[in-house]
Amino acid sequence: MDKTVATMKPGEAAVIAGFSDEPLSVKLLEMGFLPGNVVVFNFAAPLGDPVCVNISGFDVSLRLEEAATISVID
């Protein structure tokens, strides 16, 4: 299975490789999720979903299904 933001663990950092969902990717890009940028996984909500990540100093929360569309390389 490819690694995505959804499979990351708290405290883990990885580099964004690309997106698998076009309409959503436009929104993610706007929020600063750019390929090549480092994304840090902050923590997940108590029920495992949504998750909170940091992108270039900016804290953003996403649903797990949205996080799964961001593929990363670590």
Partner 1 sequence: MAIERRLRIALVGKPNSGKSSLFNALTGLKQKIGNFPGITVDKRTGSCQLNDHTEADIIDLPGIYSLYPRTLDEKIVVEILTNKKSPDYPDRIAVIADATNLRNCLLLLTQLIDLGLPVVLGLNMMDLAAKSGLNLDVKKLSALFDVPVVMLNARQGFGIDELKRQLAGNLKPSGKRIFDTLNGMSSAVNAVKEHFTLSSFYEAFQYLQQPDNLKFLSGQEKDFIKRVASEHSFFPHKYQGAETIHRYGYIQEVLDVVVVKSAKQNWKVGTNRLDKILTHRIWGYVIFLVILFSIFQSVFALAQLPMDAIDRGFADLSAWLNARLPSGPLFELISNGIVPGIGGIIIFIPQIAILFAFISMLEESGYMSRVVFLMDKVMRHFGLSGRSVVPLMSGLACAIPAIMATRTIENWKERLITIFVTPLMSCSARLPVFAILVALIIPDIRIFGLIGLQGAALMGLYLLGFIAALLSALLLKSFVKNTERSFFIMEMPTYKVPKWSNVGFTIVEKTKTFVLQAGKIIVAVSIILWVLASYGPKEVMNQARQVVREQTADQQLTEEQFENSVAAYKLEHSYAGTIGKFMEPIIKPLGFDWKIGIALITSFAAREVFVSTIATIYSLGSAEDNVTIRNRLKDEINPETGQPQFTPAVGFSLLIFYVFAMQCMSTLAIVKRETKGWKWPLLQLFYMSGLAYTSALIVFQLLS
Nearer to partner 1, 15 or 32 (CB): 32
CB of 44 to partner 1, least distance (A): 9
DSSP string, 24-56: HHHHHHHTT--TT-EEEEEEE-TTS-SEEEEET
Q: Are strands 13-19 and 58-62 parallel, antiparallel or unpaired?
A: unpaired
Element (H, E) at 7: none
In the complex, the smallest distance separating the C-beta of residue 64 from partner 1, rounded to whole angstroms, is 9
Q: Is 29 in the site for partner 1 (CB under 8 A)?
A: yes
Q: What is the β-pairing status of strands 58-62 and 70-73?
A: unpaired
- In this complex, which beta carbon is closest to partner 1, that of residue 12 or of residue 50? 50
Kindly state whether residue 45 participates in binding partner 1, applying the rule CB under 8 A.
yes
Interacting residues toward partner 1 by CB under 8 A? 22-32, 34-35, 42-43, 45-50, 52, 56-63, 66
